[in-house]
Amino acid sequence: MRTPAIFQAVLLLATASGLSSADALTQEEFVAKLQAAGYSQVSDIKSTAEGTTAKAVKNGKDVRLVVDSSGQIKEQK
């Protein structure tokens, strides 16, 4: 997995949203947040204009997620 690139993307997103780098989630924290919300097999984490996107599985179904700068997890259609 491209840990440094993903970490930089999450850090960039947090910085752009006005958070300090100390408030940014690491990749492991990001995945843990999604797992705590019931998602598994988190992959393909990317920083976009919408927020940080990822692919995951919930209740046996593949889903695409976006986590916005306020930390809201939303499933994309």
Per-residue exposure over 19-44, b if at least 16 CB sit within 10 Å of its own CB, e if not: eeeeebbebeebbeebeeeebeebee
Asked if residues 50 and 67 have their Cβ atoms less than 8 Å apart, the reply is: no
Q: Say how far residue 5 (Cα) sits from the centre of its chain.
A: 13
pLDDT of 22 reads 37
pLDDT of 26 reads 85
pTM of the model: 0.67
pLDDT of 77 reads 76
pLDDT in tens, 2-49: 555 555 555 555 545 544 333 467 889 999 999 999 999 999 999 888
Which domain, by its residues, includes 49? Answer: 3-76
pLDDT of 5 reads 57
Angle formed at CA 75 by CA 16 and CA 66, multiple of 5 degrees:
15
Looking at the structure of the chain, the number of domains it has is 1
- Total count of residues recorded for the chain: 77
